[in-house]
A and B are shown apart, each in its own frame.
Chain A
Amino acid sequence: MLLKAYKINEQGFYTEDYIYEEGQELSSDIINTEISQGLFKPKWDGTTWIEGATQEYKDSIKPTTSAQL
């Protein structure tokens, strides 16, 4: 059975999902605590997932310009 966990970088930021087989040992950079929806940049603080995005980052991805095909 396939399960999903989360891969983090050295700063604890989520980078991508990690798919593994049940019973497989996980390395220290793989977290199997679920990430709640709504976070911009999930960050693992060693116990739980927290919002790792700054307000400056959130402002930077808000719509400012148009795009067209």
Chain B
Amino acid sequence: MGWKISDKVTVEPQDTDLVLLEQNGNTRNSTLARIKKFLLGDEILKTTAQTIKGAINENTTQLSDVAHKTGAVQTNLNADLLDGQHGAYYAPLASPNFTGVPTISSNAIATNVKPTEIMVTLLNGFTTASGSKATYCKTQDGIVTLNIFLNNSGSSAIGTTMFTLPAGYKFTEIIRARGIITSNAIYIAEILINTDGTVKVNTISSSITSYTNVQFDVSFVATA
């Protein structure tokens, strides 16, 4: 014997309406709500519609909200790329580890790389004093530093060029720095750094005409 369906549905079905199921030879009751849950699911995209078409429309609206609604914060959203780049491409706000040559505006950031110390090329018989050095160097931001201690073994006159700074290590104005001259005593000297890079003792605070040693340190910003 089968079931006889006496009437067509005349009103909209409700979630609490009974639905008959044939299961392993037995006839069982369920509800329309359970059948709808089975067909549509209700865990993530819930629907309150009572028709298939209505449920699809409802879910489509919810999906659209997820993808497009302005200002809608989507927790647990897991994007693989942002503007075509993985997350490792972007530096963190805290303790970023930059590589390459980071810049701010048009100014390069100096790194902690020490400048290369270069021995000056001595002329006119000058030599480096024993146990000392005669070097120049330039930092990344263009500060030139001279660290000089020389013997005047050739007894060159005051005003004789000791060495010449190279291009990129010069200044567009004459620089007058203080130095120390050793002869039979210690005297103050004026060191002249000319715009062509030549460096020489200009004057001494004494009437002496020769000296055995000269030492000075000076820093300036290279402009030529």
Contact = CB atoms under 8 A, between A and B. Distances in A.
Interface of A: 1-2, 4, 6-7, 14-19, 35, 37-42, 53, 58, 61-69
Main secondary structure of the interface of A (DSSP, over half): loop
Main secondary structure of the interface of B (DSSP, over half): loop
Contact of B205 (A19, A38, A62, A69): A69
A67 B159 contact: yes
A40 B203 CA distance: 21
A18 B197 CA distance: 12
B127 interface: yes
B195 interface: no
8 contacts: A6-B121, A17-B120, A40-B123, A63-B155, A65-B209, A67-B202, A67-B209, A69-B203
Given A68-B203, A69-B203, A58 B209 contact: no
Contacts of B204: 67-69
Contacts of B154: 40, 58, 61
A19 B155 contact: no
A16 B198 CA distance: 9
